[in-house]
Structure 1
Amino acid sequence: MSDLKALKQEILQLTRRYSQEAHAAFRPGADPERSPWQPGSPIPYAGRVFTENEVEAAVGATLDFWLTLGSEGAAMEKELAAFMGVRHSLLVNSGSSANLVAISALTSHKLPDARRIKPGDEVITVAAGFPTTVAPIVQVGAIPVFIDADPLTGNARCDQLEAAYSPGKTKAVMMAHALGNPFDLSITLAFCRKYDLWLVEDNCDALGCSYSMPRAMAEGLGFSENSPGLDEGPDRVIRWTGTWGDISTQSFYPPHHLTMGEGGAVNIVRDQKLKVVAESFRDWGRDCWCPSGIDNTCNKRFDWQLGELPAGYDHKYTYSHLGFNLKPLDPQAAIGRVQIRRLPEFIEARKINWQILRTGLDACSDSLEFALPTHATAWNTDGSFEWDDTGCRSECSWFGFKIAVKENAKFSRTDLARELDANQIGNRMLFGGNLLRQPAFVQLKHDRPEALRLATSMEGSDEIMNSTLFLGTFPGLTEAMLQAEIDVINKFATA
């Protein structure tokens, strides 16, 4: 056995050496051991950022060869929940799967009947964004009710929530924090409390963002404690996004704030029952909660009688939901555990990179409009913001640097995107733009007009679709890469 341990240690040492030489371009942008970016080389909008530590963790877990979710997964779930300050985190194989599990959990017969989402019930969402925030609503038989988006923040027009409400039919609100910018949680939470609705936060692009409000307001909404590591003094409550709602989701695909390659998580903020049903939907719909490879933790494996099964039927093969199999692999979780330890530096790097771009592109403000955090009214040249009079604040761990081409510009958003492409600068639209104009949703409206509902007109979502793109802010960007982006855009916009 000692020989095996020594052999494994030798393999891991060689793995670290290999990764140090082979993966230098993937180190954080501020890492002195990162290979320098060469002018004229591509600048991606996002990508995986790692060192030999992640590679060693992946190889070590693979050598152990417990491939399905196991001890690494259990440890990562606890570490993620501890970082966020939620009751539980459940790992899944993608952020899209996380959204599917989250909304499916709210359909469970184990929840109070009056709050359970049933076929034909309505879930309020926003028209501009990523399709798999909305698709799971349709997939569970509910009706998405769309409100418009604010072109400045990219987020939902939360002042339109009342217009979307249907007494007896609306059961939940499910929306994303767009590009790492929190949506207006004060309005949304007050709305959900008023009508006893679930709030599902799609936090896939916003891990490490925070939202704060005056303590009296927060306590009126049911919150008195800060998230771990956050504090704005005794008169305020500050929490991570993904911890204000009932349930939230994360994506760990490479462009996101941490990566497992593929992966995601469902965060159960407070309610233990939601953990039980979400885990059931993730794990085939089974009623048993034993981890893979472990049996009879309830000491009643052959003592249950559920459904119309005979008494004593194996609880391991008893299914209380029509579930899925959406777990990631244990070696992925081993990578994720190293990435969690990097989160503070990754969060800070995204903020710094956003400010570098904002400062460097300020001269283009006549033709380009740049995002503001929710509740901010202006950006100052020292990097601070002016704020509205609500008393609420948002702190963004930016997923991207959002740019909108103004109507008076001599060029279009497509012209700008082509110029960026010609200079190998990665850029993206704000995902699906106005989702209602995407082929899948046009076909859905054609085939089943009753399958969705528009609560308002969608001018803001159309404006996002027509005028907006974003650049990367990920922690793999170097100052030289950011300056190259600034130079290209300044030259193009002022030509």
Structure 2
Amino acid sequence: MEKNMLSGPGAYLIGEEEKNEILDVLESGWLSRYGEKGNPRFKGKVPTFEKNFENYLGAKHSILVNGGTNALLICLEALGIGPGDEVIVPGFTFVASISSILYARAIPVIAEINESLTIDPDDIEKKITKRTKAIIPVHMIGNPCNMDKIMDIAKKHNLFVIEDTCQALGASYKNKKLGTYGHINAFSLNWYKTITTGDGGIVTTDDDSLYERAFGIHDQGHKPSRLGQEVGKRSIIGLNFRVNELTGAVAIAQLRKLDGIIKTLRNNKKKLKDLIELKKGVKFLPLNDKGEIATWLTFLFDNKDNAKDFATLLDGPTMYNTGWHNYNNMEHILSKKMPTKYGCPFDCNEYGKVVEYKQHMLPQTDNVLSRSVSISIGVVDSGMSALMDLSVLSTDEDIKRVANKINGALGKVLT
């Protein structure tokens, strides 16, 4: 596998394990995630992955679904969030964190981030109204949010918490895995994530009722663990966010590699940091907890001009220029381009007031993003960071070469 392929770390390690799991399914001829008890052709890859993931994470329930965006939508729907409700979400996140709220016909209330590039708990408090139903803390670029403060706020105001762990699968906070703090939580297995099935997502929860609702939403109202067809047992109207056994097969193989990936990325990031000669005017991104997955190394400059010059020297963007991760660049969100002109969330009797989004409405977020520059360590994504040919396959020599280039750029910018 080439060292500079645009993808997450799991994609670099696709090999015999994934091939063998897939062949096991193909040779059986049974592709559906459901099969009859005792059928030797049914390999049960999807339920096997779900059980393995629950054990890995320390969660009671999980559902393998067809994308992180749909995982978020399922979480919102399972909580009964809809017209007239508000959900607080950060202004630095992938667009799906916001669009999923809109597709639940609720109103995203976009909040500031702080210097950790995660949602600012102080601004969460400011944004709460009588319509607020949930908070979505997004563990951006693998960095844990301040979950102690967020959970305290949620408890104080009787709010739900949905962790968006799409960019932080395998990370932890206070030695507890992310995706186990919220009432119900979402993960992604997209090509650019820690481990991958190409596309895919996971829903987790410890709540039995939420699990049953989420499972029904993901599959036409069916109850969990069904085998064969059911009649008269559906308790909720659902859609189809199922995956098939091939997705489950790849997910099983990738999950086995997750701890090794994270260990490698953390070691590589530490080696790189140890070689970098920081100067006055720049620091490493402050983290809420050491349990990050180390997919990026981020620099925070004192002023945006130095950050821009540094990014230019490394042929990368500042975090402000990361496309649909910065609310300022979400033109379809800012202009409220829902597929239908009338009805909730924006033309909504249940809400009853005009919603306005505009560029530069979050000055603290704009300031932090314009002063931040990331270097790819494990997720190789030119839209998010400077590509330095580092990946999960990098050697010590690769790391030294990148450190020298970074030190040279810092020397030119901060003289």
State the alpha-carbon separation in 2 of the partners of residues 460 and 399 from structure 1: 24
Tell me which residue corresponds to 1:59.
23
Tell me which residue corresponds to 2:40.
none
**Contact 2:7–2:191 under 8 Å retained in 1:** no
**Contact 2:63–2:202 under 8 Å retained in 1:** yes
Deviation digits for residues 104-145 of structure 1 (CA, Å, limit 9, x no counterpart)? 2112xxxxxxxxx23011111111111111111111111111
Cα offset, 1:418, TM superposition:
4.2
Among 141, 148, 156, the alignment partner of 1:186 is 148
Which has the higher mean CA deviation after the structures are superposed, 428-437 or 52-61?
428-437
Task: Specify the SS of the correspondent of 2:253.
Answer: helix
State the alpha-carbon separation in 1 of the partners of residues 217 and 162 from structure 2: 16
- How do 1:466-481 and structure 2 match up within 5 A? 466-474=370-378, 475-481=392-398
Among 63, 67, 71, the alignment partner of 1:98 is 71
Cα offset, 1:398, TM superposition:
2.3
Q: Pick closer, same or farther for the CA change 1:358–1:325 going to 2, 3 Å.
A: same
**Contact 1:206–1:398 under 8 Å retained in 2:** no
Structure 2 unaligned regions, length at least 5: 35-43, 347-352, 379-391
Does the alignment pair 1:373 with 2:287? yes
Q: Pick closer, same or farther for the CA change 1:320–1:45 going to 2, 3 Å.
A: closer
Does the alignment pair 1:89 with 2:57? no
State the alpha-carbon separation in 2 of the partners of residues 81 and 429 from structure 1: 36
Cα offset, 1:164, TM superposition:
1.1
Cα offset, 1:288, TM superposition:
4.6
Deviation digits for residues 432-489 of structure 1 (CA, Å, limit 9, x no counterpart)? 34314521122129995834679x9622321244233322222333333333322222
Tell me which residue corresponds to 1:30.
none
Tell me which residue corresponds to 2:335.
443
Aligned residues: 374
State the alpha-carbon separation in 2 of the partners of residues 165 and 419 from structure 1: 41
State the alpha-carbon separation in 2 of the partners of residues 408 and 418 from structure 1: 12
Tell me which residue corresponds to 1:177.
139
Root-mean-square deviation (Å) = 2.9
**Contact 2:218–2:239 under 8 Å retained in 1:** yes
Q: Pick closer, same or farther for the CA change 1:121–1:408 going to 2, 3 Å.
A: closer
Task: Specify the SS of the correspondent of 1:337.
Answer: helix
State the alpha-carbon separation in 2 of the partners of residues 254 and 355 from structure 1: 25
Tell me which residue corresponds to 1:420.
314
Deviation digits for residues 376-397 of structure 1 (CA, Å, limit 9, x no counterpart)? xxxxxxxxxxxxxxxxx54211
Larger Rg: 1
**Contact 1:430–1:470 under 8 Å retained in 2:** no
Cα offset, 1:429, TM superposition:
5.3
Cα offset, 1:349, TM superposition:
1.6
State the alpha-carbon separation in 2 of the partners of residues 65 and 429 from structure 1: 46
Deviation digits for residues 191-235 of structure 1 (CA, Å, limit 9, x no counterpart)? 1111221100001111222222xxxxxxxxxxxxxxxxxxxxxxx
**Contact 1:145–1:452 under 8 Å retained in 2:** no
Tell me which residue corresponds to 1:459.
363
Structure 1 unaligned regions, length at least 5: 1-24, 27-36, 108-116, 213-237, 305-314, 375-392
**Contact 2:32–2:245 under 8 Å retained in 1:** yes
Q: Pick closer, same or farther for the CA change 1:399–1:248 going to 2, 3 Å.
A: farther
Cα offset, 1:80, TM superposition:
0.2
Does the alignment pair 1:261 with 2:198? yes
- How do 1:223-234 and structure 2 match up within 5 A? none
State the alpha-carbon separation in 2 of the partners of residues 170 and 99 from structure 1: 17
Tell me which residue corresponds to 1:227.
none
Taking structure 1 as the reference length, what is the TM-score of the superposition? 0.69
1:271 maps to a residue whose letter is D
Does the alignment pair 1:147 with 2:111? yes
Task: Specify the SS of the correspondent of 2:336.
Answer: helix
- How do 1:121-132 and structure 2 match up within 5 A? 121-132=85-96
Task: Specify the SS of the correspondent of 1:328.
Answer: coil
Q: Pick closer, same or farther for the CA change 1:54–1:400 going to 2, 3 Å.
A: same
Deviation digits for residues 67-98 of structure 1 (CA, Å, limit 9, x no counterpart)? 23241001000100111111111001111121
State the alpha-carbon separation in 1 of the partners of residues 367 and 337 from structure 2: 21
State the alpha-carbon separation in 2 of the partners of residues 408 and 465 from structure 1: 9
Cα offset, 1:258, TM superposition:
1.4
**Contact 1:430–1:465 under 8 Å retained in 2:** no
State the alpha-carbon separation in 2 of the partners of residues 484 and 200 from structure 1: 40
- How do 1:103-114 and structure 2 match up within 5 A? 103-107=76-80
State the alpha-carbon separation in 2 of the partners of residues 97 and 143 from structure 1: 17
Does the alignment pair 1:49 with 2:12? yes
Deviation digits for residues 224-248 of structure 1 (CA, Å, limit 9, x no counterpart)? xxxxxxxxxxxxxx41111011111
Among 207, 215, 238, the alignment partner of 1:279 is 215
What is the percent sequence identity of the aligned residues? 22
- How do 1:155-174 and structure 2 match up within 5 A? 155-167=118-130, 169-174=131-136
Tell me which residue corresponds to 2:406.
489
Q: Pick closer, same or farther for the CA change 1:353–1:466 going to 2, 3 Å.
A: same
Task: Specify the SS of the correspondent of 1:358.
Answer: helix
State the alpha-carbon separation in 2 of the partners of residues 164 and 330 from structure 1: 42
1:156 maps to a residue whose letter is I
Task: Specify the SS of the correspondent of 1:432.
Answer: helix
Among 368, 374, 396, the alignment partner of 2:292 is 396
